[in-house]
Structure 1
Amino acid sequence: MTILSLLAFAGLCLLLSVTPGPDTFLVLRIALGRASAGVAAAAGSAAASVAWAALVGVGLAAIVEQSAEVFRWVKIAGGIYLVYLGVSSFLKTRKAAKAGLAEGPEAPAPERPYSRWAGFAAGALSTLLNPKVGLFYLAVVPQFIPHGGNTLATAMVLGVLEAAIAFAYLAAVAAVAYKAMKWLRRPKVKTGLERASSGIITALGVGVMVSGAAS
C-alpha cells in the first residue's frame, strides 16, 4: 500500500467525516451538556470503528485464503454498494434542497449531562450497532489490498486512519458544539458537503468495480 493510496483513503474519510451523520449528531447532543463527554463519545465511536475494521479484515482474509475468485466478486459487489451510496445520497440531497429542508435528525440538549464514561459508551454502541460502518470497510478495504498483501494488516491500518480522522473532526465539533450545530444545519453547507462526498463515493465505487472486473 503506497503513500498515495493512504492519502486517497484519508481524503475520502475526511469528506465522509464532515458530512453530518448519526455520529455527528450524537456527539453534538452529548456535547451540549458537557464538552468533555462529547469528546469521549467521539473516542468511543473511533474505537468501535477500529473494531469493525478488525472484523471485516478477518473475514476478508478468510475469503482471500479460500478463493481468489470469490474475493474478486466481493470487490465488485463492494464497488456496486459504493455507487449506490453515492447516487442515493446525491438524490436525497437534491430532494431535500428542492423541498427547502436540511436533512438530519434534531439534536436537542440532553436533560442530564453525560459523564465521560457514559459518553464513550454511547459513541461506541452507536457505531458498533451501525452495520453501514462494516459495509463501508467491506466495500473499501479490498481496493487498497496490494497483490499478495496482508489483508488483516491493511484493514487495520485503514481502520486506524479512518478512526483518527473521524475522532479529530468529532472532537472539534464537540469543542464548539453550539456554533457547529448552527453551521452544519445551514442547507447550503449541508448540501455542498453531501454532494461532494456523494461524488467521491460514486467514483470510488466505479474504480472498485473496474479493478475487480480486470483482476
Structure 2
Amino acid sequence: MTPTAILAFAGLCVVLALTPGPDTFLVLRFSLARQGAGLAASAGSALGSMVWALAVALGLAALLQQSAEAYRILKIVGGLYLIYLGVTALIASRRHGSSFETGARRTSLPSGFVAGMLSTMLNPKVGLFFLAIAPQFIPRGAGALGNTMLLGAVDAVVGGVYLAVVALVAARAVAWLKRPRVAKTFERVSASILAALGIGTIALSATE
C-alpha cells in the first residue's frame, strides 16, 4: 500500500471523526467527570475500531452485510447500551447532584475504557465502513489481513487523537461547568442525548 493511499484514507477518517456520534458524547461525559476517564474512553474507542478492522479482515463483518437479522440485532444491542449509559447517568445526576468532584470519585479509568470500547464495538456502522472502504485502498493481490489492520490502525489513531482532544478541551472547561446550574443542565442534556441516540437506533432498526 502506497503512502498516498494511506494519507487519502487518513483524510477520510478525519472527515468521519469530525462528525459527532455516540463516541463523542460518551467521551465528553466521562472527561467532564474526570479527564483521565475521558482519555481512557478515547483509547477504548480506538481499540474498538481495531477489533472491527480485524473482524473485517477475517470476513466476520461480511456476515452483518449479508444477514439483515444479525445487523439488526447488533444495532439493537448497541442502542440498548447507549440507553443504559444515558439512564444511569441521569439517575446518578439526580442522586448525587451536579458536583463534578463527586463524578470524578465514581468514574474510573477502566469504566471509561470499557464504555468507549463497547460503544464502538456495538456500532455495526464502523464494521460496514471498513467493509466498504478498505477494499478500495488495498492493492489487488496484496495481503488483505495486514493491509486491513494497517487501515484499522490509521482509523484508530485518527479517531483516538480526535476524541482525546475532545476530552482535554472538555476537561479544561470544567471550571466554568462547575457552576451548579450549568453543570446540572449539561449533565442531564448529555445523558439525554446518549439515551436518545439509543432509542433512535432501536427505532430505526425496528423499521428496517
Please point out which of 152, 158, 170 is paired with 1:177. Answer: 170
Matches within 5 A, 1:20-99: 20-59=20-59
Alignment identity in percent?
Answer: 55
Q: CA deviation at 1:179?
A: 7.1
d(CA) in 2 for partners of 1:167 and 1:144? 21
Deviations 1:91-143 (A, max 9, x none): xxxxxxxxxxxxxx9xx896433200000000011111110110100011110
Deviations 1:25-73 (A, max 9, x none): 100011110011000000000001101000101118x9xxxxxxxxxxx
Query: TM-score, normalised on structure 2?
Result: 0.61
Q: CA deviation at 1:144?
A: 1.1
Change (3 A) 1:163 1:180: farther
Structure 2 partner of 1:136? 129
Change (3 A) 1:117 1:178: closer
Root mean square deviation, CA, Å: 2.8
Q: CA deviation at 1:165?
A: 0.8
Instruction: Please say if residues 173 and 180 of structure 1, whose CA atoms lie closer than 8 Å, have aligned partners that are also in contact.
Output: no
Structure 1 partner of 2:7? 7
| Unaligned segments of structure 2, at least 5 residues | 67-85, 94-102, 175-208
Query: TM-score, normalised on structure 1?
Result: 0.59
d(CA) in 1 for partners of 2:173 and 2:22? 15
d(CA) in 2 for partners of 1:39 and 1:21? 17
1:122 aligns to 2:79 (yes or no): no
Instruction: Please say if residues 48 and 121 of structure 2, whose CA atoms lie closer than 8 Å, have aligned partners that are also in contact.
Output: yes
* Count of residues in Structure 1 that have an aligned counterpart in Structure 2: 139
Change (3 A) 1:165 1:180: farther
